[in-house]
């Protein structure tokens, strides 16, 4: 007897909005890993201090302690898609601004930490909105699959992007590499802005 087995691993990718959200997550994840590599290199290059370098790499998570609840509130009050696009545009802008500071050779240690806190705040505020949008892109029965694929999109770039960013660091330096992160943030914004989320979805979550 023939046995028909349907593989459900990629089911959520059948939905256009989820595919766009998945692409946005890949771009966003790529920007994060590029940013982490450059921050680590810059901090150690300036300070020659392993402790400060470790603090710089870990500081991005600190704003979650205070800002994440605010992000959850905003996810319920605001248009999620527009809010996320605005946040991604902000991340692209401050990353490009920091890249300019680095290009002009004006970088001081406090610049690095200020940049990390600014980016960390935006991540902490926008993450609840991003997770809520994932839930808005597929039917309820596909939620587990959608979140699993979204998590895979974020983690999979860790295998490739740091190597590419490291090569760019060697060939072009930290400032152009940071500009790549800025472009990736913009790519995430574009993928998000072309989504078409029905208003009713916001009310159901």
Helix, coil or strand: residue 93:
helix
Which parts of the chain are beta strand (E)? none
Q: What angle do CA 69, 31, 131 make, to 5 degrees?
A: 35
pLDDT band at 186 (very low <50, low <70, confident <90, very high): very high
Give me the pLDDT at residue 46, please.
Answer: 93
Question: Could you say which DSSP state residue 48 is in?
Answer: -
Q: Is the pLDDT of residue 199 over 70?
A: no
- For residues 27 and 185, the answer to whether their CB atoms sit within 8 Å is yes
Q: What is the DSSP string of the chain?
A: --------TTGGGGSHHHHHHHHHHHHHHHHHHHHHHHHHHHHHHHH--HHHHHHHHHGGGTTHHHHHHHHHHHHHHS-HHHHHHHHHHHHHHHHHHHHHHHHTT---HHHHHHHHHHHHHHHHHHHHHHHHHHHHSS-GGGHHHHHHHHHHHHHHGGGTHHHHHHHHHHHT-HHHHHHHHHHHHHHHHHHHHT----HHHHHH-
For residue range 52-90, what is the model confidence (pLDDT) as tens digits? 999 988 888 887 777 777 777 887 787 888 999 999 999
CA atoms within 13 A on the CB side of 42: 29
For residue range 21-32, what is the model confidence (pLDDT) as tens digits? 999 999 999 999
Give me the pLDDT at residue 131, please.
Answer: 86
The pTM of the full predicted model, rounded to 2 decimals, is 0.86
Give me the pLDDT at residue 73, please.
Answer: 80
Question: In angstroms, what is the C-alpha Rg of the chain?
Answer: 18
For residue range 44-53, what is the model confidence (pLDDT) as tens digits? 999 999 999 9
């Amino acid at each position: 007897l023939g046995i028909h087995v349907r593989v459900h691993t990629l089911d959520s990718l059948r939905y256009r909005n989820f595919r766009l959200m998945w692409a946005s997550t890949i771009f966003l994840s790529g920007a994060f890993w590029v940013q982490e590599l450059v921050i680590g290199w810059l901090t150690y290059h300036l300070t020659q201090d392993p402790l400060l370098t470790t603090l710089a790499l870990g500081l991005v998570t600190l704003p979650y302690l205070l800002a994440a609840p605010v992000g959850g509130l905003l996810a319920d009050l605001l248009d999620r898609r527009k809010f996320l696009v605005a946040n991604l545009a902000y991340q692209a802008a401050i990353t490009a601004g920091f890249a300019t500071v680095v290009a002009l050779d004006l970088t001081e240690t406090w610049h690095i930490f200020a940049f990390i806190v600014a980016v960390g705040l935006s991540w902490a505020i926008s993450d609840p909105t991003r997770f809520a949008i994932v839930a808005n892109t597929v039917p309820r029965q596909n939620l587990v699959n959608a979140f699993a694929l979204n998590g895979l999109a974020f983690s999979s770039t860790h295998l490739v992007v740091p190597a590419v960013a490291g090569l760019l660091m060697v060939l072009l330096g930290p400032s152009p590499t940071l500009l790549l992160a800025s472009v990736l943030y913009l790519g995430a914004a574009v993928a998000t802005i072309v989504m078409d989320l029905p208003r009713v979805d916001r009310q159901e979550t």
